[in-house]
Amino acid sequence: MTHPPKRPLTLRDVSEASGVSEMTVSRVLRNKGDVSEATRTKVREAAKRLGYVPNKIAGALASQRVNLVAVIIPSLKNMVFPEVLSGISEVLEDTGLQPVVGVTDYLPEKEEKVLFEMLSWRPSGVIIAGLEHTEASRAMLAQSGIPVVEIMDVDGEPVDTCVGISHRRAGRMMAEAIINAGYRKIGFMGTKMPLDHRARKRFEGFTRTLAKAGIEIADQEFYSGGSALAKGREMTAAMLERSPDLDFLYYSNDMIGAGGLLYLLEQGIDIPGQVGLAAFNGVELLDGLPRQLATMDACRREIGQRAAQVIADRHGGRDTGESVHSLSPTLAYGDTLRRP
Amino acid sequence: MTHPPKRPLTLRDVSEASGVSEMTVSRVLRNKGDVSEATRTKVREAAKRLGYVPNKIAGALASQRVNLVAVIIPSLKNMVFPEVLSGISEVLEDTGLQPVVGVTDYLPEKEEKVLFEMLSWRPSGVIIAGLEHTEASRAMLAQSGIPVVEIMDVDGEPVDTCVGISHRRAGRMMAEAIINAGYRKIGFMGTKMPLDHRARKRFEGFTRTLAKAGIEIADQEFYSGGSALAKGREMTAAMLERSPDLDFLYYSNDMIGAGGLLYLLEQGIDIPGQVGLAAFNGVELLDGLPRQLATMDACRREIGQRAAQVIADRHGGRDTGESVHSLSPTLAYGDTLRRP
DNA sequence: ATGAAAGCGCTAACAA
DNA sequence: TTGTTAGCGCTTTCAT
């Protein structure tokens, strides 16, 4: 066992150990330029023997190139964003680019801080959730000089490019399906709005479409914090107590919808006869529930893939044409929403 | 609207714009050294007006200091790791250190790659899940010269420091509780083992303790992929079909346990009389289930906090004494495991 | 309180 | 195919 070095090894150490110039060592380690097979192996051996780990900081400064892509999302606990992330990783995997994740907790000021922090590492691109940012954040993005992809949402003006679905349209589609199925007394449950613009837009699309059909939300409740499943259960119980004549419940996310579903089944309520249910996201979790909850797929993985593709293309000098990539969510009726 | 710059701004630009030397600008932007209030504001204004974003790459190279902590985990979809991460973020928040996440997908070679990649950015510390790594990974960690904390598990030899629970002991505790409650025909369901050392250790602790009491696992099944909730449901149905005389089902994680619970309730099976259930992790999700599933808390948030604390302390020059931080999981009987 | 000079460890560009 | 020379944009150190 050799003694752990206080000073990390440098190219110079490998150069001396292998009797080859630093420049050539650098070339070998990056597989760049022509190097004879002989020196190649000599260098590789020395590097491995010493346990050399290159210093990307120095490399990045010298080459003015950083293979990082900043990915800025509101939360990791949401089930939704990990899926977007795997879409991103999947595509970046074979491009030499690497995602680096920053979390904002849905706070605009924290987003600004995280963005500033990440931009100061001079990444090759930014993927950031949502179209709503502070003035300063938008300015930073616009000034950054690197490809910027805003994801999840297309209802608004992107700084550069966006990939997502229209949440207003998603809300509208769901409202139409519910109306067409004959439901009329509709309750809504969701997260507290100011935090989540996409939930807000779905709600807007939803209520406006109902309004056009002369229907008003009969009851509504908003929550924050705690186990979403438990919250869904509690809110549903409370709402049905308060407004026993409701014939439909629309939930802003699948977890609270699942909680509501479990509650209603326990109460022996006829679904979707007496009460219909629908939610939003299409998370995998729903597959294990006693009934298939009606929901709308948010195209999470595909959003991640497309966003990463845009970054990769632009990084490779290819242009991607369109600045708005609008995907189409699909409605799953499941067992809790009557078909028209 | 000024034209977006092709070349990112440098200290020099701010220096010229404010009529102050680069050095002084640098001092202002880092709040270091004595600078008169007058120049301070002058510089701040110029920086803000120009939209200057410092270049951390150059800063890190010059100062030989990087405020990043590499966090390497197997997956983000697991519900478990996001919680560990928030424990980490929470503590690092007020230390000036920033977590950077790398994901290994439970693959040792990918872990090695990710580790190499992250170490090449010369972080101030490493937090990495598990005690099992490739030879090369261990060597890199040992050679890195920075604090290394292996988390989640304490059954083994840490390279440097570890923070976690003993999964063998967790398995043993659960086996003892089940035996004491009088159950005898026990079925096990879990993930395919080779991927997950901690699940494997729990299983080992579990079976050994049963063996000492003269009990053998009566049936077992392992899965991989798919919706865990649905898998739990399917596996439970299949197992009870196959082995109708089972009186207890132990699941290696809460999601499949929840799936099993939902299935059994639908079948009208008496829980915990006819069949008892228990799982592992204590995830928040369980709060919304019709019955409280017996489980064992894995101390996820606390593990994150302690690990981050170790890094922060060592980074600040403080020594943390012990190299093994063993936390104690607590057993929650819930409604699905008879008390002794 | 401010500035000037000398690198940090690497790579681009050129030379041999 | 290999080596040499200048930086990359900042911070450290030492003057002033």
- Asked if B121 lies within 8 A of A56 by C-beta distance, the reply is yes
pLDDT recorded at residue A270: 97
pLDDT recorded at residue A4: 53
Euclidean distance between CA atoms A259 and B85, whole angstroms: 26
pLDDT recorded at residue B285: 85
Using CA coordinates, name the residue in chain A closest to B7. A145
| Residue A126: strand, helix, or coil | strand
- Asked if A82 lies within 8 A of B86 by C-beta distance, the reply is no
What are A67-102's pLDDT values in tens digits?
999 999 999 988 899 999 999 999 999 999 999 999
Query: Which of B1, B115, B121, B300 to probe the A interface (max A CBs under 10 A)?
Result: B121
Out of A5, A57, A289, name the one closest to residue B60 (CB): A57
pLDDT recorded at residue A112: 98
Residues with CB under 7 A from strand D: A 20-24, 27, 33-36, 38-39, 58, 61-62, 64; B 7-8, 10-12, 22-23, 26, 29-30, 32, 54-55, 58-59, 61-63, 65
| Residue A321: strand, helix, or coil | coil
Out of A4, A51, A233, name the one closest to residue B288 (CB): A233
Residue–nucleotide distance: B21 CA to C2 C1' (Å): 8
Query: Which of A52, A97, A100, A121 to probe the B interface (max B CBs under 10 A)?
Result: A121
Out of B53, B61, B227, name the one closest to residue A288 (CB): B227
Å between A122 CA and nearest CA of chain B: 7
Out of A53, A77, A227, name the one closest to residue B120 (CB): A53
Residue–nucleotide distance: B53 CA to C3 C1' (Å): 23
> Per the structure block, which two tokens stand in for B264?
């059994």
| A96 touching chain B per CB within 8 A | no
| B109 touching chain A per CB within 8 A | no
Place of tokens 């980490």: B88
The mean pLDDT value of chain A amounts to: 95
Å between B265 CA and nearest CA of chain A: 10
Per-residue pLDDT of chain B (340 residues; tens, 9 = 90+): 445 557 899 999 999 999 999 999 999 999 998 999 999 999 999 999 999 999 999 999 999 999 999 999 999 988 899 999 999 999 999 999 999 999 999 999 999 999 999 999 999 999 999 999 999 999 999 999 999 999 999 999 999 999 999 999 999 999 999 999 999 999 999 998 788 899 999 999 999 999 999 999 999 999 998 889 999 999 999 999 999 999 999 999 999 999 999 999 999 999 999 999 999 998 888 899 999 999 999 999 999 999 999 999 999 999 878 999 999 999 999 999 999 7
> Is the CB of residue B32 less than 8 Å from the CB of residue B87?
no
pLDDT recorded at residue B4: 52
| A126 touching chain B per CB within 8 A | no
Give all domains of chain A, ordered by start, each with its CATH number: 1-43 (1.10.260.40), 59-166+302-330 (3.40.50.2300), 167-297 (3.40.50.2300)
Residue A33 has pLDDT above 90, yes or no: no
Residue B37, CB, strand C, below 7 Å: no
Residue A1 has pLDDT above 60, yes or no: no
Euclidean distance between CA atoms B151 and B163, whole angstroms: 5
**Which nt has its C1' nearest the CA of A36?**
D1
Q: Say how many Å lie between the first and final Cα of chain A, rounded.
A: 73
What are A245-268's pLDDT values in tens digits?
999 999 999 999 999 999 999 999
SS3 letters across chain B = CCCCCCCCCCHHHHHHHHCCCHHHHHHHHHCCCCCCHHHHHHHHHHHHHHCCCCCHHHHHHHHCCCCEEEEEECCCCCCHHHHHHHHHHHHHHHHCCEEEEEECCCCHHHHHHHHHHHHCCCCCEEEEECCCCCHHHHHHHHHCCCCEEEEEECCCCCCCEEEEECHHHHHHHHHHHHHHCCCCCEEEEEECHHHCHHHHHHHHHHHHHHHHCCCCCCEEEEECCCCHHHHHHHHHHHHHHHCCCCCEEEECCHHHHHHHHHHHHHCCCCCCCCCEEECCECCHHHHHCCCCCCEEECCHHHHHHHHHHHHHHHHCCCCCCCCEEEECCCEECCCCCCCC
Between B189 and A227, the higher pLDDT residue: B189
Å between B23 CA and nearest CA of chain A: 18
Contacts of B83 in chain A (CB under 8 A): 77
How many residues belong to chain B? Answer: 340
Euclidean distance between CA atoms B62 and A173, whole angstroms: 56
pLDDT recorded at residue A194: 81
Mean pLDDT, range A223-240, rounded to an integer: 95
pLDDT recorded at residue A284: 83
Contacts of A70 in chain B (CB under 8 A): none
Using CA coordinates, name the residue in chain A closest to B118. A56
Å between B87 CA and nearest CA of chain A: 13
Residue–nucleotide distance: B287 CA to C16 C1' (Å): 74
- Asked if B8 lies within 8 A of A122 by C-beta distance, the reply is yes
Residue A47 has pLDDT above 90, yes or no: yes
For residue A235, give every residue at least 6 positions away whose Cβ sits within 8 Å of its Cβ, in sequence order, or none. A189, A221, A223, A256, A259, A260
**Which nt has its C1' nearest the CA of B9?**
D9
Distance of CA A242 to the CA centre of its chain: 36
pLDDT recorded at residue A2: 45
**Model confidence, pTM:** 0.95
Q: Quick one: which residue's CA is nearest to D2's C1'?
A: A24
> Per the structure block, which two tokens stand in for B334?
């819930």
Residue type, B144: S
Instruction: Give the DSSP letter of residue A292.
Output: -
> Is the CB of residue B72 less than 8 Å from the CB of residue B118?
yes
Out of B76, B140, B290, name the one closest to residue A51 (CB): B140
Q: What angle do CA B332, B334, B337 make, to 5 degrees?
A: 95
pLDDT category of residue A320 using cuts at 50, 70 and 90? confident
Mean pLDDT, range A151-163, rounded to an integer: 98
Residue A15, CB, strand C, below 7 Å: no
Residue type, A280: F
Å between B213 CA and nearest CA of chain A: 35
pLDDT recorded at residue A78: 84
- Asked if A288 lies within 8 A of B230 by C-beta distance, the reply is yes
Mean pLDDT, range A313-339, rounded to an integer: 94
Residue A210 has pLDDT above 60, yes or no: yes
Contacts of B140 in chain A (CB under 8 A): 51, 53
Query: Which of A26, A53, A66 to probe the B interface (max B CBs under 10 A)?
Result: A53
